[in-house]
Amino acid sequence: MNSIGLLLLLVASLITCNKQVDKEEGTTKDESFTSAYKTIRVTKNIPYRVGDSDAWKLDLAMPANFDSELRPALVIIHGGGWRFGSKSDDVYQKMMVTYAQKGYVTINVDYRLTSEAEFPACIKDVKCAVRWLRTHAEELNVDPNRIGSYSHSAGAHLSIMLAMVPDTANLEGDGGWDEYSSRVQVAGAGSPPTELGRDMPMAIKKWWSIGYIAADHVPMFLIQGSEDKIVLPTRTQDFVDKMKAAGNPNLEYLEMEGDHGIAYNGQLKDTDPALEKFFDKYLHPQQNSKNNK
């Protein structure tokens, strides 16, 4: 048994829900065992590369009763202006568990913040995490052709970059797993920075999704608040317009009344179902894909 398999056996904790009373036995019966998706395993702080940084860790959640079925995966990336934030944020922890209960294998990724490593180290780190996931796809029962990503704000920038940046863009970093691609097949993004002000040091075009406008990108779903003062809706709309002008048919855009937190904690009753529908459409958690190359 390899190290990740041993780690899952030793560290993983079983989470169950939906308990009911068994009338015949008079004991507590766990209803989750009747569902393929209601019982999950969660493993915390798995290193996705070797090195000295404490940021190179992820949390993993997955359905507990796999059998031989391959699952789609979702890469969750925290926000925080590239300077703050953590995978421990309640919003991202909840999303990790929720999607695992729906049938996805989910990873919730930390990355080096700008206080530790200069931009674009964060891009290189999340790309490494995707390569780690593909490296371990077989033992995690992940279909490497059904991997999506999601986040909000600064993390949304990273999510889109996973979808748009080619492996040849010199942003892969030195984290290893180089024989695997870091690109995802679908990406969701809430309040997504698609570019910075053009006079800023970080505004190097290849570090932002505005630098990769093309017709052949994978499906993406952008959610934007109309009153957002941090990520301006005019910038997001400009990105959407440029993508559509390039002939991209797979970009979905939802602008809602609200501020920067619209898809983080502002209007989840609307944004959560929209995201779930989007990911289900392209990643098909009920599908048992046979293509695991």
Start-to-end CA distance of the chain, whole Å, equals 21
Instruction: Please state the rounded mean pLDDT for residues 108-113.
Output: 98
**How is the chain split into domains, by residue range?**
3-283
Contact indicator for 106, 73 with CB cutoff of 8 Å: yes
Instruction: Please state the rounded mean pLDDT for residues 172-192.
Output: 96
267 compared with 139, residue with greater pLDDT? 139
Whole-number pLDDT of residue 50: 96
Instruction: Please state the rounded mean pLDDT for residues 152-156.
Output: 96
- What confidence category does residue 134 fall into, taking pLDDT thresholds of 50, 70 and 90? very high
- What confidence category does residue 199 fall into, taking pLDDT thresholds of 50, 70 and 90? low
35 compared with 253, residue with greater pLDDT? 253
Q: Which two tokens stand for residue 19?
A: 């308990």
Whole-number pLDDT of residue 269: 87
- What confidence category does residue 284 fall into, taking pLDDT thresholds of 50, 70 and 90? confident
Share of the chain above pLDDT 90, in %: 72
Class of domain 3-283: alpha beta
252 compared with 287, residue with greater pLDDT? 252
CA distance 198 to 183: 26
